Chains A and B, each alone.
Chain A
Amino acid sequence: MSLHDLVISPFAYEFMRRGLLSALLLGVSGGMIGCVLVLRRLALMGDALSHSLLPGVAVAWYFFGTSTSALFFGGLAAGLLTALGSALLSRLTRVKEDAAFGSLFIVFFGAGVALVSKLPTRINLTDFLFGNVLGVSAGELRLAAAVSLLTVAVFILFYRSVLLETFDPVFHRATGGHGGLVHLGFLTLTVLNLVAAMQTMGIVLALGLFLLPAVSAYLWCDRFITMLLVSIGIAVVDSAIGILVSFHAGIASGAAIVLCLGAVFVLSALFSPRHGAMGTVRQGAARRPAP
């Protein structure tokens, strides 16, 4: 098999071009979102959030069919309901936010699975959970483009607020920043990206496209801006490779992309000279602050 057969010819198919484009677009925004998730230690919350989208999407599908915008708003509503619901729950009851989030999302996810299996629709649960690049419609591609553009714009416009809120929320507040607003805006962006990534990546795997490039970049970079750029780079390159692997090996696109990203992550964790495992072992206990 020539290089041309390997890399170029798959994209003779319309669905492959759409799938690739959608993955690239979401790689850009997801790579940025992931950095904040990693640095704010919200990685698991992002995971929970992605699962909770299912019932919203299922209900939207039932009432409005394959309409992209309906699915989008269904997922958005379910995601925000989980986020706000758990915030409210932790304020009003003794339950702490992580437990509240964990409990709510699993109930939402359960409801979603129940709905999907019971509703008289032609939804394929597997596609929902793990992604199917074959199904990226023109509408979904437009959605991915819009979400990606919005995310990039927000990060550029509010770069300083994002950085301050991520690094030192107390200082951000002390200087008149609106931490709550930034946080809410960020959660909304995360949900938007998750919904947009649903078709290619699947609900369960979508977060991988956000998180894995960011953790990998985190292992290499000592500046926030470089971390963002490296994360985007990894996400974009691995999305493209993943789509190709998915085509040739005949596996779900979400899984293929996540596996490629996972490989980069494992390599980074092992071999990053300063923050990886090898580096730490080599320096022994001397990982104390330099004088």
Chain B
Amino acid sequence: MRYGRLTALRDLTFAIPCGSSTAILGQNGAGKSTLLRSVMGWQRLAAGEIRIGDEHPQHARPRLAYVPQRHSVDWDFPITVRGVVEQGRYPSLSMFRRLGRPDHERIDASLEELGISDLASRQIRMLSGGQQQRVFLARALAQGGDIFLLDEPFAGLDLFGCEELTHILRNWAEQGRTVLAAVHDLAIARSCFERGVLLDTSLVAAGAIGEVLSPENVERAYRGGRCVHTGHARDPRPEEAKP
């Protein structure tokens, strides 16, 4: 994947099984966001392809739910918790249709599942960090997809918020939802995710989280700040589905 002349991410081959939770790891600039964007189909690939099921990302959009970073929105925006979660239903409505009963039921269910029903009419600034994150998750849930892409969901959460989120994401994977998240913190990645993809502008390792975060791999990905790989990129190697 390239930005202009800059190759952000290359030599990457791996598979993510359905119903698993995967952390995308690596230091800043390693290509975590680039990978997420590519899966969303926003980034034209310089070479290779990404398939979701059998489809190109652009066609698999109804299956994908994207959870942006928490600081990407203005929390002073005049909108309530329910208003945000309703947005999850917008993509499936045509221009003249209003939210129908099934939409409202789905919104209620999403609020319920994330335990924020009683906060539904609050303005979103009046929430804790963890609650704000849950609002985003509820919106993603309301979209009705089964693949969740999260950009740094743990960023800026306190300890309690992190634990809560870990609990939710684990639950999701158990329910057969596929979770793919860019994660900064290796300890959180270990405790929350089954699988990992370790990046350093190219693939360092992919597979079960324990193996991916072996001391050698971590050493290689995080060695002495930013380092540009020249010539000795790993062979792209297809990843088997079983951890």
A and B: partners? yes
Contact sample, A vs B, 5 pairs, CB 8 Å cutoff: A167-B77, A174-B64, A174-B68, A223-B79, A224-B78
How many interface contacts (CB-CB < 8 Å) are there between A and B? 67
Q: When the two chains form their complex, are residues A289 and B126 in contact, meaning their CB atoms are under 8 A apart?
A: yes
Confirm or deny: B230 has a beta carbon within 8 angstroms of a beta carbon on chain A: no
Q: Decide if B40 is an interface residue (CB 8 Å cutoff).
A: yes
Question: Hey, which bits of chain A sit against chain B, CB under 8 A?
Answer: 39, 157-158, 160, 163-164, 166-168, 170-171, 173-177, 218, 221-224, 226-227, 289-291
Contacts known (A164-B90, A167-B79, A174-B40); A290 close to B126, Cβ less than 8 A: yes
Query: Which one of A160, A166, A223 contacts B90 once the chains associate, using CB atoms below 8 Å?
Result: A160
Is B227 interfacial (CB 8 A cutoff)? no
Selected from B64, B72, B79, the residue in CB contact (under 8 A) with A224 is B79
Could you say which of A166, A175, A218, A290 has the most chain B C-beta atoms within 10 Å of its C-beta? A175
- A224 pairs with B83, CB closer than 8 A: yes
Contacts of A222 in B (CB 8 A): 78-80, 123
Residues in A with CB closer than 8 Å to B126 are 289-290
Q: Which residues of the partner chain A approach B61 to less than 8 Å between Cβ atoms? A: 175-176
A115 to B61, CA, bound (A): 52
A174 to B36, CA, bound (A): 11
* Contact present for B73 and A168 (CB under 8 Å): yes
B66, A289: Cβ atoms under 8 Å? no
Which of A39, A158, A177, A223 is packed against the most chain B CB atoms within 10 Å?
Answer: A223
A171 in contact with B66 given A39-B74, A227-B78 (CB within 8 Å): yes
Most buried by B among A157, A166, A168, A177: A168
* Residues of chain A within 8 A of B66, CB atoms compared: 170-171, 174-175
The answer to whether A223 and B78 have CB atoms under 8 Å apart is yes
A291 CB contacts on chain B under 8 angstroms: 128
CA–CA, A167 and B40, complex, Å = 20
- Chain B residues with Cβ below 8 Å from A218 are 78
Does B127 touch A at the CB level, under 8 Å? yes
Q: Which residue of B lies closest to A227 (CB)?
A: B78
In the assembled complex, B93 has its CB within 8 A of some CB on chain A: yes
